[in-house]
Structure 1
Amino acid sequence: MPSLGRLWRRSIQARVVTSTILLSTLVVTLTGWALLRDVADGLADSRRSTAISEARSGFDYAQTQLDAAVDTETSTQSQVLTQMVDSLTRSRGASRTYELVLEGPLLTEDGEVPIRSSAAIDPDSLPRDLSDAVRSGPGTFWRYSDLALLGSSTRDASVVVGSQLRAPGSGDTYALFYLFSLADQQETLDLVRRALLLGGIAMVLMVGGVAWLVSRQVLDPVRLARRIAERYASGNLEQRMHVSGEDDIARLSSSFNQMAASLQSQIRRLENLSRVQQRFVSDVSHELRTPLTTVQMASEVLYDSRDRFDPQTARSAELLKRELDRFESLLSDLLDLSRFDAGAADLELDLVDLAQVARDAADDPVLERAGITVRLVGVEHPAVVEADPRRIDRIVRNLLANAAKYSQSPVVEIRVAQNDESVSLAVRDFGVGLSGDEAIRVFDRFWRADPARAQGGTGLGLAISREDAALHGGTLQAWGRPGAGSEFILTLPKPEGSAKHPPLVSVFA
């Protein structure tokens, strides 16, 4: 069942063919039922009309026989009627399609009505309401019934036609019934039913085959387009669809090829632009490194000698030293980003205890200078992962530096948790917080939530931290709420584990 459900969800052709077969089956069934009903009604009406006409002729003949019998004795009339029944049943011979039942005289002294019949007919073959109608007065009456012989379990549909006879000599009344079998009509109906069934099955199979063939002709190019699109998604942009003819599918294939060529051109242009940009950043960073080192050495000499300068020159030396340090940090960050962009960043893996990293980070002098109290949660037990110690330490210190510079929070909480698959380290503050859009953009390069309260950062720390986390196969996510603080959660997989199910969930999530 799961495989059938998966086939139904994934295959348009299966849904089209199945739906077509079901709908055509419904249409054929309803049409066949209507036709069969009309044929059955037509056969029954035709047989009923013939039966009534033939029965009336028989009733007239029987009444003539009674009129001709001048004897008024019941026994003599009974003999005449018995001969009449034999005469009527012999008149058709082997081709006779009816049976006769004669009841009467209807009024006898002992209340019993004699019955004569051309065969051993079950009394239940005569409908009770028909017998009552015939006994009530003159006229010809008919009903549908089932004809059964005594000792037989089979019952055949039949038309029963009855009428009252009167003996003029004695005044006795008799009821004569013709039972016309509908076996021939039933055989014809069965033949029509089989023909409709076989024709309906053939029609459904033919329609299903046509639906399969048509859907295949339509969907094969779509499937080819899907496979080619999957190759495009995997980076193979050289594949093209085969264009044959001038119909809609051919135009779709042509448009698809044009789109692929345009995408390939745009991607190549962007790749070239990205390579030029990466090369420019890397070259500029390297080219600036040497003069920066020289200038920084000179600034350190001036900084160390600032006590011998006048106040204005000493302050200038301090500003020069601080800005050169910031410039060096910016160059270092740009070099790291250029390595990430070029795919040249690598890891020096070792066993790292994130609980110990959290304890060490709590003594960061940046937090102490900002007057921030650190609260540690879940650091009592080791939480070991295989990672690059330098990069993990940089991620945590970037998060703490970000909290110290921008959160305006008196307390920072560091939590560590783990499960069988991964380890999470969360840094939460209780300051100004982040809105939903800010939590998404906080990892963008050179982005600040409020440039007016920037405090000298490069705007690259969180971007580099996220790249470091992704390099380990982990995640770094941000949540926040204005006025309630913000929280950053670093999740790293354990060996043979995954970061898809982090052990920590943000309080703002």
Structure 2
Amino acid sequence: MSRFALRTGVRWKISIAIAAVGALVAAALSIVVHNEARVSMLDNAREVHMDRLLLAQLQYESTPKAREPRLRFGAKINDPLLPRQLDRLMQKGRRGTFVQEHAAGGSPDVWAAVPLANGDVLSLHMPFADRSAAIMKSLDRTLIIGSVSVVFGGCALGVLIGGQLSRRLRKAAAAAGKVAQGNTEVRVRDAIGGVVRDETDELARAIDALTDALNERIEAERRVTADIAHELRTPVTGLLTAAELLPPGRPSELVRDRAQAMRTLVEDVLEVARLDSASERAELQEIALGEFVERRVRVLNPDAVVNVVHESWVSTDPRRLERILGNLLANAAKHGRGPVEVTVEGRVVRVRDNGPGFPEELLREGPSRFRTGSKDRAGKGHGLGLTIATGQARVLGARLTFRNAAPDGGAIAVLWLPDHAPTNTGSFPVLRDV
């Protein structure tokens, strides 16, 4: 069962992570600063209220008894609204302050109370100063602006850092893609460049080391294959010559047929080894593609139907193009059913048969040598035909694709010739499937 996957870049992942961390830190610091500022301002208000209350007490106690005492700052004697916490403190003969919060919100009340010598309680309470509340609002607004600035600044920093890392990774991926296409001279470490060294350099060195190891192994296998095929060429040629001297008869025909098949196999193996070495170069000529294909198909497979939809002049190697056509037609004849149809449309050549189609392994992985996709391999070849055709197409700078026709069935091989001829360095243009 396939799972949903959200695709995003490293740049945005780093940006989101930095922004999230910045937001959490800014929120935590804002809460701490807000609470500390509020506590500090309330403590200051409590001290101010107590100082005022002590002055009011001093004036109250110094007023002669014959005169009516005047209470300053709005102080009261035995205020019925005195909080229970202060009331219990007064009963112990101690003075104190208290901050009374309101359930409905708003500014709290700051109380101060002192016990008098006659047993009365002198108290003073006022709302938290409007000026202090305005200062707290201004502080909160500043904290919010600062937190938002930190989040956006962290996001911008994440985009900058993540963008640099993302560019290096994209360069490494592009260089690795060129290596996968056969350009073994590309080095991922040189492609990413840069002065700062990080994990991408370790990845690049690992890819370069892996590429060198694979190239050495492939080159060793290619040399072994070429050497074996080359050594077999002489005895096989001698065997074929000797088979021609045998007296006529069915046994002689079988010997000559098998000797010829062995010679063809040796030549195909040598050709594959040369193609694997990437040393082959095309000998270019200007040809009319439709006319060329029509003439060659009449020789290679007279029963095939050729349809030239649109003629086009191309610069290519006629010998290699004929080799590709021959292998595609031979594959259609061996593994498919007639009629075989060849269509030329501009620079595109399609070869279709009406057989069971290409095996899934070939469509998924591409042609593989010594694998025909047929359960019965007797008389079905050695699986080198499509491998050679793909290699020759690569030398031409072309692309050879395979698919099965639906719903009628049948195998379709499509040769996409490039808009421009391949260079003498072996670089190929990029072709788009249409």
TM score, norm. by length of structure 2: 0.59
Q: Which amino acid is the alignment partner of residue 501 of structure 1?
A: R
Distance 1:428 1:225 in 2: 41
Change (3 A) 1:42 1:301: same
Residue 462 of structure 1 aligns with which residue? 386
**Distance in 2 between residues matched to 1:229 and 1:322, nearest whole Å:** 50
CA distance in 1, matches of 2:166, 2:149: 26
Q: CA deviation at 1:49?
A: 11
Distance in 1 between residues matched to 2:332 and 2:167, nearest whole Å: 52
The residue correspondences of 1:87-486 to structure 2 (distance < 5 A) are 186=131, 190=135, 193-194=138-139, 197=142, 201=146, 234-235=186-187, 260=206, 264=209, 271-302=215-246, 306=248, 314-366=249-301, 368=303, 373-374=304-305, 376=307, 379-407=308-336, 409-418=337-346, 423-441=347-365, 443-452=367-376, 454-480=378-404, 484-486=409-411
Q: What is the deviation of 1:10?
A: 2.8
Letter in 1 for 2:265: L
In 2, the alpha carbon distance for the partners of 1:288 and 1:481 equals 40
SS in 2 for 1:358: helix
Q: C-alpha deviations, 1:403-462, integer Å up to 9, x for none? A: 11111x2322222334xxxx3211112212234334235610010111415434232110
Give the drift of 1:297: 3.3
Q: Is the 8 A contact 1:351 1:385 kept in 2?
A: yes
Matches of 1:406 and 1:225, distance apart in 2? 44
Distance in 2 (alpha carbons) for counterparts of 1:333 and 1:272: 23
In 2, Cα distance between equivalents of 1:454 and 1:493: 37
Of all paired residues, the percent bearing the same amino acid is 24
Verify the 8 A CA contact 1:406 1:454 in the aligned structure 2: no
SS in 1 for 2:340: strand
Higher relative contact order (CA 8 A, sep 6+): 2
The structural deviation recorded for 1:319 is 2.0
Q: For 1:80-105, what per-residue CA distance to the aligned partner results, in whole angstroms no more than 9, with x for missing partners?
A: xxxxxxxx9xx98xxxx89xxxxxxx
Supply the distance in 2 between the matched residues of 1:367 and 1:451 (Cα, whole angstroms): 28
Partners in 2 of 1:417 and 1:324 — Cα distance? 40
Q: Quick one: distance in 2 between partners of 1:231 and 1:328?
A: 40
Looking at structure 1, the residues matched to 169 and 326 of structure 2 have their Cα atoms a distance apart, in angstroms, of: 49
> 1:50 and 1:200, CA in 2 relative to 1: closer, same or farther beyond 3 A?
farther
C-alpha distance in structure 1 between counterparts of 2:372 and 2:431, whole Å? 28
RMSD value, Cα? 5.7
Tell me which amino acid in the other structure corresponds to 1:326. Answer: A
| Separation (CA, whole Å) in 2 of partners of 1:470 and 1:226 | 25
Cross-structure match for 2:119:
none
In structure 1, distance between residues paired with 2:242 and 2:139: 107
**2:413 — aligned with what?**
488
- CA distance 1:231–1:25, change in 2 (3 Å): same
Instruction: Give the partner amino acid of 1:356.
Output: E
Q: Which runs of 5+ in 2 are unaligned?
A: 1-7, 57-67, 75-101, 110-125, 180-185, 191-197, 422-427
The answer (yes or no) to whether the contact 1:349–1:386 under 8 Å persists in 2 is yes
1:192-243 CA-partner distances (Å, limit 9, x unpaired): 95599489959987xx89xx89xx9xxx9999999999999744799xxxxx
**CA 1:195–1:404: 2 relative to 1, 3 Å:** closer
Distance of 2:146 and 2:26 partners within structure 1: 8
**CA contact 2:357–2:411 (8 Å) conserved in 1:** yes
| Cα distance in 1 between the residues matched to 2:357 and 2:172 | 46
Going from structure 1 to structure 2, the CA distance change for 1:405 and 1:188 (only over 3 Å counts) comes to closer
**Deviation for aligned residue 1:495:** 1.4
Q: For 1:438 and 1:231, how far apart are their aligned partners in 2?
A: 26
TM-score between both structures, scaled by the size of structure 1: 0.52
Q: Distance in 1 between matches of 2:139 and 2:146?
A: 10
Give, in whole Å, the separation in 1 of the partners of 2:140 and 2:363.
72
1:46 offset after TM fit, Å? 9.5
Q: Conserved in 1, the CA contact under 8 Å of 2:338 and 2:354?
A: yes
Taking structure 1 as reference, are residues 182 and 50 closer, same or farther at Cα in structure 2, changes over 3 Å only? farther
- Contact 2:311 / 2:345 at 8 angstroms: preserved in 1? no
Q: How far does residue 399 in structure 1 lie from its aligned partner after superposition?
A: 0.8
Q: Which residue of 2 aligns with 1:21?
A: 22
Instruction: Tell which structure's C-alpha radius of gyration is larger.
Output: 1
* One-letter amino acid of the counterpart of residue 411, structure 1: P
Deviation at 1:363, TM superposition (A): 1.7
Q: Check whether the contact 2:310–2:345 (CA below 8 A) recurs between aligned residues.
A: no
Cα distance in 2 between the residues matched to 1:225 and 1:442? 28
Distance 2:358 2:243 in 1: 38
1:447 is paired with a residue whose SS is coil
Matched letter for residue 358 of structure 1:
V
Residues 292, 199 of structure 1: CA spacing in aligned structure 2 closer, same or farther, 3 A cutoff? closer
Q: CA separation of 1:473/1:42 partners in 2, compared to 1, >3 Å: closer, same or farther?
A: farther
